[in-house]
Structure 1
Amino acid sequence: MAVLDSTLTTQLSQLLTKVVEPIELVASIDDRPKSTEMVELLNEIAALSDKITVRTDGDDARKPSFSIERTGTDIGVRFAGIPLGHEFSSLVLALVQVGGNPVKEDADVMEQVKQLDGDYEFVTYMSLTCQNCPTVVQALNAMSVLNPRIKHTAVEGSVFQDEVKEKNILAVPQVYLNGEPFASGRMEMADFVAKLDSGAGARAAAKLNELDPYEVLVIGQGPAGAAAAIYTARKGFRTGLVGERFGGQVLDTMSIENFISVPKTEGPKFAAALEQHVGDYEIDVHKNVSATGVIPATEQGGYHTVKFGEEASLKARTVILATGASWRLMSVPGEDEYRNKGVTFCPHCDGPLFKGKKIAVVGGGNSGVEAAIDLAGVVDHVTVVEFMDTLKADNVLQDKLRSMGNVDVITSAQTTEVVGDGAQVTALKYKDRNTEEEKQLDLSGVFVQIGLLPNTKWLADSGIQLSPRGEIEINDRGETSVPGIFAAGDCSTEPYKQIVVAQGSGATAALSAFDYIIRNSAEA
């Protein structure tokens, strides 16, 4: 039976026309069925291109695994396991990049990768259901192509469970460098360069300081920020778009089914479409940059200053704040200590690592109940822990949850502590709010799903008015308390935190910025 279906085979056949240099797929195998399946996959790939050959005499300690090697060079990458699911795109990119198709990345970042001096052996532990893992795998694979002194192996955790257990990996993606823990979570090539190259930060700051003032500077690269930047660019204004990661919170969303006109998509795909659309306009995009403060203009129509650390800043006639939100924490003892050691936030990424174990989902809203439903199909048992006396999720989700045989629901429960043995989570303590009795659940993982907090702490000294919840106060035009500074999306008091609402909010802020610039120009 073929590993790839006809649709994937057709797509792969077209993409492999980009392989211009001969490559070898070198398999290291044992007698497990997974090895047989992997070799079948490699043979199906090789049958689609006369530039690709397969060998089964590899001697790597991880079996099944295979390397993709450019013939006669030191350029190559390795996959341990079978990279299908979310990692299929990583496999395809590795094939065409090792096969001589140019890596597509910022020219400055690629040059920094080529100039890295040292031998780097990276290992990424990932799961095929993780949305953030492909970004890490693809970045390190591309770096291996650009600089042969960089080596990378992507390890599918479910196939190498003994190794995952030995290293106590309870969250993915997890990256090791030369045998030592290096990083976790979603990272792009620029993030790796910043950690490896001590001078990268200073060069990035100098590059920002050299730029002329913008007419519109958008802070945040999620749906609201992307919409705002496109709208102001279409008005002909010089626009800058700055953010830590393109897509923002959308990147952590597994399924999007309520964006009108798009029946169903996934967060990373949606984020990629946002970035592609922004790329159609003359917008200066600055990625992997965190704003740390705002100094409002001293006079109407003057320049606002946005700071990035101690040494970098940008000036703009108008600023649109669209920094979104991030996961709300429980703020209980043990939560920080055991983060990525059993405390996690992404059921799709980390769920497979808890196969056969008992876990809790804290939060009974839509996100919490959806997480519990997904996890129930993977883990041994799920307990939903909700602070209020009833679940807050939609009835259809509650009905589905209660139909599952390995799920319990505890309401009126105040989480008080995450307990562990120093290496990983062993229990969750909570207080029964009706009886004040302290109770404990013995378990291996805690998935936190209690909503979001606006990313606005960096605005504390800006003079911009915030709500008691920390949201940026705006009116129906997206105006903040400071003339010429606007806000949009989940970081603002816009009442409904939805992608489609955030985009409309971004468009409103952009049109208000346009109006502000025009009116002030006319008065001047």
Structure 2
Amino acid sequence: MLDANLKQQLQQYLGMLREPIELVASLGDGQKSDETRELLTMIADMSDKVTASFDGDNVRLPSFLIRRAGDHDVAVTFAGLPLGHEFTSLVLALLWAGGHPPKVDERLVEQAKALGGTHNFEMYFSLSCHNCPDVVQALTLLSLFNKGVSATLIEGGTFKDEVEERGVLAVPAVFKEGEMWASGRMGLEEILAKVDTGAADRVAEEMQGMAPFETLVVGGGPAGSAASIYMARKGFRTGIAADRIGGQVLDTMGIENFISTIYTEGPKLSAQMEAHISEYDIDVVKPVRASKLIPADKPGEYHTVEFENGGTLSARSIVLSTGARWRSLGVPGEAEYQTKGVAYCPHCDGPLFKGKRVAVIGGGNSGVEAAIDLANIVGHVTLIEFDSKLRADQVLVDKLKSFANVDIHVSAQTTEITGDGSKVNGLIYKNRESGDEHTIPLEGVFVQIGLVPNTEWLKDSGIALSKHGEIEIDDRAATNLPGIFAAGDATTVPYKQIIIAMGEGSKAALSAFDYLIRTEPAAEIAQAAATHEAQVA
């Protein structure tokens, strides 16, 4: 079940327990229950602070709860085995229940403790989902630090009938009080912001009390992270405002082209970026989304950014790095059946379609890679490409064509995704050469047709945008407005890659630095920073 290395790691972590904990299992017959008994027995044997019993009364079999010894009001429940990507979540649940403090912003922990009311969560995850651990761990923390919160974390592969009955076709999927509540990656901040109705107002109030920055970075992906670090290293007062640190990288699985790192994964790289940011005196404001940019009237004066929560931030220079998101098809049925068969992450949601028929829309690298991954899981894959040929690297195309359960249609325009009202049941496409329409019966559609920049909020700001909505920049990452720079996937720079975004973010920060020292005396900047530090102290 666990290899020697994982067992050794688990042994070391259990040595960090400060208080005794109890594992209470509810088991039935079959292999999954036997594996659960084996895992819990092994954990209990590794530490004298852990006891395991097998007399639970949970209706989900197998399942087990983790609680502080003697405190039946503080617990988290796992239904199925949290291994694979969730092994870390299991370890953290054990540590937190055993009194080990979480490595989480203390303000968030206090907010979690202070959350009022009762909140009953059920959350579905898959063991191959790299977006799920953030949600699992956030709900675990909430349930172990607030008696009013209960969380049951369910491995969908073990409870397939339940997944089918509740119409779960995308993970992570969170139910609250028995009703669908949220889908997709969410961290503790996002969950608290959603469940704590006063959270957004408190963040906005905190923003109003912040002194103006020398540089404000809007967006927390690779470009924004690099820009904030480069500017902070220059000694200038720097802020970064973002929905989340990591941006789209958080939704990326394997990364094999980040030079000097043979292999990493998006969540890990994002965590490293956030840790790097924390090494500097950078004010991080999240989760927030920008809604309006008000440029300064003259060079050297303050620009203002308004946010959806009502807060505002000002800065003498700005780096726009709001990134991009998955492009949607824009056809009938797509929006209606999102999370009901329409998906964008094959790694996360592919296992939910095991043995079923699916389509992948898009013949570039991402689409062909998705089709290859899915061909190993689902019953049949149909790849649909608008162009007259697949645009992916030839090595990927050759690999895809080696699968017997894959059909490929080129010069094919998807016109509609059909469903029965509760889930997807087919797709209609038109042959662009003959004009004939074809219907494909299937259960899932994975959309992989590229990115669209997150720049809608800039359309009335005076910032020049390309016909594709990208921020137009020059070779110094400057926009058409003095003091405003841009970097990353939201800009006209070609080749949307992590390493390129980081380089562009660094360039934008250096250009902002050059702009600042030429538009305001350095002594005045230093005095403003010193005054702010004195006020904070």
TM-score between the two structures when normalised by the length of structure 1: 0.98
Match of 1:28 among 26, 29, 34: 26
Cross-structure match for 2:285: 286
User: Are the equivalent residues in 1 in contact too, given 2:288–2:309 (CA < 8 A)?
Assistant: no
Tell me the C-alpha RMSD between the 2 structures. Answer: 1.1
Report the residue type matching 2:300 in the other structure.
G
- Superposed, 1:353-502 pairs within 5 Å as 353-502=352-501
Q: Secondary structure at the match of 1:226?
A: helix
**Matches of 1:194 and 1:279, distance apart in 2:** 22
Report the residue type matching 1:284 in the other structure.
D
**Matches of 1:33 and 1:241, distance apart in 2:** 49
**Matches of 2:267 and 2:324, distance apart in 1:** 17
Report the residue type matching 2:60 in the other structure.
R
Cross-structure match for 2:100: 101
Q: CA-to-partner distance for each residue in 1:265-309, whole Å, 9 max, x for gaps?
A: 111111111111111111111121101111000111000001012
Cross-structure match for 2:254: 255
**Matches of 1:226 and 1:23, distance apart in 2:** 39
**Matches of 1:492 and 1:399, distance apart in 2:** 33
Q: Secondary structure at the match of 2:152?
A: strand
User: Are the equivalent residues in 1 in contact too, given 2:36–2:81 (CA < 8 A)?
Assistant: yes
**Matches of 1:120 and 1:341, distance apart in 2:** 25
Q: Secondary structure at the match of 2:15?
A: helix
Cross-structure match for 1:133: 132
**Matches of 1:286 and 1:163, distance apart in 2:** 39
Q: CA-to-partner distance for each residue in 1:315-368, whole Å, 9 max, x for gaps?
A: 001100111100000000111000110000000100011011000000000000
Report the residue type matching 2:413 in the other structure.
Q
Cross-structure match for 1:4: 2
Q: CA-to-partner distance for each residue in 1:80-117, whole Å, 9 max, x for gaps?
A: 01111111111011000011111333333322322222
**Matches of 1:287 and 1:22, distance apart in 2:** 35
- Superposed, 1:190-201 pairs within 5 Å as 190-201=189-200
**Matches of 2:379 and 2:308, distance apart in 1:** 45
Q: CA-to-partner distance for each residue in 1:158-199, whole Å, 9 max, x for gaps?
A: 000000000010000110111111111111122222222222
Cross-structure match for 1:13: 11
**Matches of 1:229 and 1:14, distance apart in 2:** 36
Matched, 1:226 2:225: yes
Q: Secondary structure at the match of 2:312?
A: strand
Q: Secondary structure at the match of 1:514?
A: helix
Q: Shift in Å at residue 50 of structure 1? A: 1.5
Q: Secondary structure at the match of 1:47?
A: helix
Report the residue type matching 2:123 in the other structure.
T
- Superposed, 1:208-223 pairs within 5 Å as 208-223=207-222
**Matches of 2:117 and 2:520, distance apart in 1:** 54
**Matches of 1:20 and 1:95, distance apart in 2:** 11
**Matches of 1:46 and 1:184, distance apart in 2:** 34
**Matches of 1:287 and 1:88, distance apart in 2:** 27
Q: Percent identity of the aligned residues?
A: 58
Q: Shift in Å at residue 522 of structure 1? A: 4.2
User: Are the equivalent residues in 1 in contact too, given 2:465–2:472 (CA < 8 A)?
Assistant: yes
Report the residue type matching 1:504 in the other structure.
G
Report the residue type matching 1:60 in the other structure.
N
**Matches of 2:467 and 2:350, distance apart in 1:** 34
Matched, 1:183 2:182: yes
User: Are the equivalent residues in 1 in contact too, given 2:362–2:386 (CA < 8 A)?
Assistant: yes
**Matches of 1:197 and 1:249, distance apart in 2:** 25
Cross-structure match for 2:527: none
Cross-structure match for 1:339: 338
Q: Shift in Å at residue 458 of structure 1? A: 0.7
- Between stretches 181-190 and 289-298, larger displacement belongs to 181-190
Q: CA-to-partner distance for each residue in 1:139-165, whole Å, 9 max, x for gaps?
A: 011011110110101100000000000
- Name the CA shift for 1:107/1:76 in 2 (closer, same or farther; >3 Å): same
Cross-structure match for 1:43: 41
Q: Shift in Å at residue 47 of structure 1? A: 2.3
Q: Secondary structure at the match of 2:347?
A: helix
Q: CA-to-partner distance for each residue in 1:179-226, whole Å, 9 max, x for gaps?
A: 111111111122222222222221111110110000110011111111
Q: Secondary structure at the match of 1:489?
A: coil
Cross-structure match for 1:56: 54
Q: Shift in Å at residue 4 of structure 1? A: 0.9
**Matches of 2:484 and 2:109, distance apart in 1:** 35
Cross-structure match for 2:534: none
**Matches of 2:370 and 2:20, distance apart in 1:** 44
Q: CA-to-partner distance for each residue in 1:431-471, whole Å, 9 max, x for gaps?
A: 00010011111000000000000110010111000011100
User: Are the equivalent residues in 1 in contact too, given 2:472–2:491 (CA < 8 A)?
Assistant: yes
- Name the CA shift for 1:185/1:310 in 2 (closer, same or farther; >3 Å): closer
> How many residues in Structure 1 have an aligned counterpart in Structure 2?
522
Structure 2 residue ranges without an equivalent (≥5): 525-537
Matched, 1:299 2:304: no
**Matches of 1:15 and 1:270, distance apart in 2:** 23
User: Are the equivalent residues in 1 in contact too, given 2:96–2:141 (CA < 8 A)?
Assistant: yes
Structure 1 residue ranges without an equivalent (≥5): none
- Between stretches 163-172 and 33-42, larger displacement belongs to 33-42
Q: Secondary structure at the match of 2:235?
A: coil
**Matches of 1:235 and 1:13, distance apart in 2:** 44
**Matches of 2:338 and 2:23, distance apart in 1:** 37
**Matches of 2:15 and 2:225, distance apart in 1:** 33
Report the residue type matching 2:32 in the other structure.
K
**Matches of 1:198 and 1:269, distance apart in 2:** 30
**Matches of 2:166 and 2:206, distance apart in 1:** 40
- Between stretches 105-114 and 85-94, larger displacement belongs to 105-114
**Matches of 2:327 and 2:375, distance apart in 1:** 23
Q: Shift in Å at residue 310 of structure 1? A: 6.3
Q: Secondary structure at the match of 1:53?
A: strand
**Matches of 1:384 and 1:404, distance apart in 2:** 12
**Matches of 2:329 and 2:351, distance apart in 1:** 23
**Matches of 1:47 and 1:317, distance apart in 2:** 60
TM-score between the two structures when normalised by the length of structure 2: 0.96
- Between stretches 304-313 and 151-160, larger displacement belongs to 304-313
**Matches of 2:277 and 2:27, distance apart in 1:** 44
**Matches of 1:349 and 1:449, distance apart in 2:** 14
Q: Shift in Å at residue 496 of structure 1? A: 1.2
Q: Secondary structure at the match of 2:181?
A: strand
User: Are the equivalent residues in 1 in contact too, given 2:288–2:308 (CA < 8 A)?
Assistant: no
